[in-house]
């Protein structure tokens, strides 16, 4: 299934899209947005009522301009729609949240994704390059507000790239793929680059550049 083009709301092909406002709608070829699907304004109003995620309530046009609805599937008058919404930019990274609406369930559902929890210790914390022992995954946690979350409708993949430090030469990188059967994002890959090689002299940096630790899938 390959999603199609993004249709700006100011080029609406018919009246059924009148409630989209000034945002974007992403359509899978041959699919259409059901008329009873809520608007982006309704989705944000629901988001602000939730207690398990705290997002910016200002609805600033400059902050929410990338909000959109993605039609994930549609058949027999039933559809599943993903609301990709701005959450907050107060922390180190901007966050986004994802709500699902199905014409069958007729309610919003806040999506959570799983990511590994791990322990990491450096031989020299001041330099933060070489780790003292193998990184150990101790469990998993769930996130609703995704740091630097970016959803690709072509591959149906959600990414989260979280750089560490001022140089951004270390960080963690997650990928989740949409599961049509469950209507959720499944963890596909989680990688950590713990090496702040910019703290080293230029002659030693190359030896550490690009070295990563794969936390998920296990054993790869």
| Look-up of token digits 């299934």 | 1
Give the whole-angstrom CA distance, residue 93 versus residue 180. Answer: 29
Tens-place pLDDT, residues 163-212: 987 777 788 999 999 999 999 999 999 999 888 777 777 767 777 777 88
Half-sphere exposure in the Cβ direction for 137 (13 Å, CA): 16
Strands 184-193 vs 213-216: parallel, antiparallel or unpaired: antiparallel
Provide the CB-side half-sphere exposure for 102 (13 A, CA). Answer: 13
Q: Which stretch of DSSP H or E encloses residue 46?
A: helix 40-47
Instruction: List phi, psi (to 5°) of 91.
Output: -90, -160
**How far, in Å, CA of 144 to CA of 199, rounded?**
33
pLDDT tens per residue across span 2-16: 343 333 333 333 333
**Separation of alpha carbons 140 and 43, rounded Å:** 28
Note the Cα 111 to chain centre separation in Å: 10
Integer Cα distance of 158 and 80 in angstroms: 17
- Quote the pLDDT of residue 152: 97
3-state secondary structure of 135: coil
Give 131's DSSP letter: B
> Residues of the chain whose pLDDT is less than 50?
1-23, 27-32
pLDDT at residue 84, rounded to an integer: 98
């Amino acid at each position: 299934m390959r999603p199609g083009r993004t249709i700006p709301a100011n080029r609406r092909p018919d009246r059924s899209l009148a409630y989209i406002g000034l945002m974007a709608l992403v359509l899978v070829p041959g699919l259409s947005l059901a008329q009873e699907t809520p608007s982006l304004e309704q989705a944000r109003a629901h988001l602000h009522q939730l207690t398990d995620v705290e997002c910016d309530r200002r609805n600033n046009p400059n902050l929410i301009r990338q909000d959109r609805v993605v039609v994930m599937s549609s058949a027999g008058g039933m559809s599943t729609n993903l609301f990709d919404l701005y959450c907050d930019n107060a922390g180190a990274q901007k966050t986004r949240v994802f709500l699902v609406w199905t014409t069958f369930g007729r309610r919003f559902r806040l999506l959570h994704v799983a990511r590994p929890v791990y322990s990491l210790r450096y031989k020299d914390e001041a330099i933060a390059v070489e780790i003292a022992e193998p990184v150990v995954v101790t469990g998993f946690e769930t996130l609703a507000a995704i740091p630097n979350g970016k959803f690709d409708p072509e591959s149906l993949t959600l990414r989260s790239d979280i750089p560490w430090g001022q140089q951004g030469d270390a960080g963690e990188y997650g990928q989740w793929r949409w599961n049509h059967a469950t209507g959720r994002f499944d963890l596909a890959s989680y990688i950590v680059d713990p090496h702040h090689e910019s703290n080293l002299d230029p002659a030693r940096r190359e030896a550490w550049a690009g070295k990563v630790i794969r936390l998920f899938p296990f054993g790869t």
